[in-house]
Structure 1
Amino acid sequence: MNKTVLITGASSGIGMEIAKLFANDGYDLVLVARRKTQLEKLASELTNNYPISITIIAKDLSQPTSPDEIFKELKEKSIHIDILVNNAGTQIYGEFQKTDLNKELQLIQVNMVSLTHLTKLAIADMLKRGSGKILNIGSTGSFAPAPLNAIYCATKSYVLNFSEGISKDLEGTGISVTALCPGATQTEFAEKAKLLNTRLFNSSVMSAEKVAKIGYRALFKEKRVEVAGMINKLLVFSIRFTPRWLVLELGKILMSSK
């Protein structure tokens, strides 16, 4: 019997590329995203190429009830999750005093609250079996605040600290937790957030496929934290030795339009 992976935000970008990697290795998939049509297209492509089972769950993780609804459906279908990939995320670009509060609250719900909720539900079942893996998608923004991107980076800081903290809590249980922290990545997500015209995306951009492969390897190596790409590793390392005021100034420059 194949093991099963639940991937949120699976309709495009890093989530879609991660789904392809698991499918190639014979894992059954539970694909979660808002856009059912996109999920169906991906599921059709993968099932045509690999002998796997795919379950589609179209849910909006900005809604507080979605995690419970997802796991209720899984229970009804007797699907047990061996690996959870919390990839879903949203982004708001601009000065805090000018951005939309409702969209920001939805961002917090998706990036932090639903991620935590799904992790809690998945771990409960993993503990009974004594095994499991969790991959949470953070960001290089997890390591520093950024003007024009303040709430996003704050939520990704939570993802990093949450992942590292529970990985220690779960030692000896057979469950590993990995935080993948990519930098600028060429995705539909970045395009929708209007980030492609920033200096950050003009400096060093990775493909979603490459980021997915790095995260996939890190998950199975049971690394706690994996920063994607050498340039991003150097950037994160340098933050440790950079004065906070300068981090903010550089962050403003990188997040500003070209």
Structure 2
Amino acid sequence: MSKIALITGASSGIGRALARYHASLGGDVIITARRGEALDALKSELEAAHKVTVTVIPLDLGAAGGAAKLYEAVKATGIRVDYLINNAGFGGHGAFLDRDLTDDLNMIRLNVEALVSLCHLFGKDMVAAGGGKILNVSSTAAHMPGPLQATYFATKAYVSSFSQALAEELKGQGVTVTALEPGYVVTEFAAVADLEGTKLIAQKGATAEAAAKVGYDAMIAGKLTVINDKPLAFMLGWIMPFMPHRMRLNMVRKMQEK
């Protein structure tokens, strides 16, 4: 029997690539995002190419109560989720005090609150069923504060910390939790976050497909965390921790400046 994956933010980028990869391995998938037309197109593509079953749930996960609505919609289908892949999220460029506070609070609601809620809701079901896997898409931003993206970096620090703690709590109960921490990936994320013109995206980024495969394979292996870029992983693990805090903050800020 194929494993069924629920993937949030599946209409584009890493989420769409994760859906394609899972389907290519013969797995059925539930895909959700706000853009119903994009989800329908992906459903047609995956079902034709891989003969899998794709269930579409168009929904604004970042709206108040969005996670509970998604959970109820999935339960209504009668489908048991084997893999929960929390990919939905967004960023936003600019000095914190110059940004609209509502935008940052909405970012926290989607990047953190919705993810935590889905882990709680589906995690309980997985434990009761005796097994399951959770993949939370974080970022290398989790490893440092992010001037000019202060809220986004902080949400990813939360995601990585939370994922590792939850993994330890669920150890021995058949459920693993993995945090994918990609570096810059070429998706529409940069345009939505208003990062065009920064040094961050001037570098050559990974493809969504490559990042998705690294994260998915790490989830299957039950790893705690994974970074898709080995040189970046070395820098984050062996260089940045020894840099003075002010130097590190200044370096990150320069990457975000236009």
Task: Name the TM-score, length of structure 1 as normaliser.
Answer: 0.97
SS of the equivalent of 1:178 reads strand
Q: Report the equivalent of 1:79.
A: 79
> Is 1:203 aligned to 2:206, yes or no?
no
Asked if 1 retains the 8 angstrom alpha-carbon contact of 2:61 and 2:70, the reply is no
Q: Report the equivalent of 1:256.
A: 257
Q: Report the equivalent of 1:228.
A: 228
> Is 1:243 aligned to 2:235, yes or no?
no
How far apart are the structure 2 equivalents of 1:124 and 1:52? 26
In the TM superposition, what are the counterparts of 1:83-232 in structure 2 within 5 Å? 83-232=83-232
Q: Report the equivalent of 1:48.
A: 48
SS of the equivalent of 1:134 reads strand
How far apart are the structure 2 equivalents of 1:57 and 1:178? 24
Number of positions where the alignment pairs a residue of Structure 1 with one of Structure 2: 257
Q: Which runs of 5+ in 1 are unaligned?
A: none
* Percent identical: 37
How far apart are the structure 2 equivalents of 1:207 and 1:77? 33
Letter of the structure 1 residue corresponding to residue 159 of structure 2? V
SS of the equivalent of 1:26 reads coil
Letter of the structure 2 residue corresponding to residue 185 of structure 1? V
How much does 1:96 deviate? 0.6
How far apart are the structure 1 equivalents of 2:96 and 2:198? 17
Asked if 2 retains the 8 angstrom alpha-carbon contact of 1:182 and 1:232, the reply is no
Letter of the structure 2 residue corresponding to residue 179 of structure 1? A
How far apart are the structure 1 equivalents of 2:209 and 2:7? 15
Letter of the structure 1 residue corresponding to residue 208 of structure 2? A
Asked if 1 retains the 8 angstrom alpha-carbon contact of 2:164 and 2:224, the reply is yes
**Deviation digits for residues 71-113 of structure 1 (CA, Å, limit 9, x no counterpart):** 1122221111000000000111001111011111110000000
How much does 1:228 deviate? 1.3
**Deviation digits for residues 109-138 of structure 1 (CA, Å, limit 9, x no counterpart):** 000000000111111110111110000011
How far apart are the structure 1 equivalents of 2:59 and 2:85? 15
**Deviation digits for residues 174-214 of structure 1 (CA, Å, limit 9, x no counterpart):** 10000000111100111221213210111241111111111
Asked if 2 retains the 8 angstrom alpha-carbon contact of 1:28 and 1:52, the reply is yes
How much does 1:242 deviate? 1.1
Q: Which runs of 5+ in 2 are unaligned?
A: none
Which runs of 4 or more aligned residues in structure 1 lie more than 6 Å from their structure 2 counterparts after TM superposition? none
Asked if 2 retains the 8 angstrom alpha-carbon contact of 1:91 and 1:193, the reply is yes
How much does 1:3 deviate? 1.8
Q: Report the equivalent of 1:19.
A: 19
In the TM superposition, what are the counterparts of 1:21-40 in structure 2 within 5 Å? 21-40=21-40
> Which shifted more, 162-171 or 228-237?
228-237
Task: Name the TM-score, length of structure 2 as normaliser.
Answer: 0.97
> Which shifted more, 155-164 or 186-195?
186-195
How far apart are the structure 2 equivalents of 1:173 and 1:141? 30
How far apart are the structure 1 equivalents of 2:68 and 2:79? 14
Asked if 1 retains the 8 angstrom alpha-carbon contact of 2:190 and 2:201, the reply is no
**Deviation digits for residues 122-176 of structure 1 (CA, Å, limit 9, x no counterpart):** 1111011111000001111101001101000000000000000000000100100
How far apart are the structure 2 equivalents of 1:164 and 1:143? 14
How far apart are the structure 1 equivalents of 2:188 and 2:133? 27
**Deviation digits for residues 202-232 of structure 1 (CA, Å, limit 9, x no counterpart):** 1241111111111111111111010111132
Letter of the structure 1 residue corresponding to residue 101 of structure 2? L
Asked if 1 retains the 8 angstrom alpha-carbon contact of 2:90 and 2:192, the reply is no
> Which shifted more, 247-256 or 233-242?
233-242
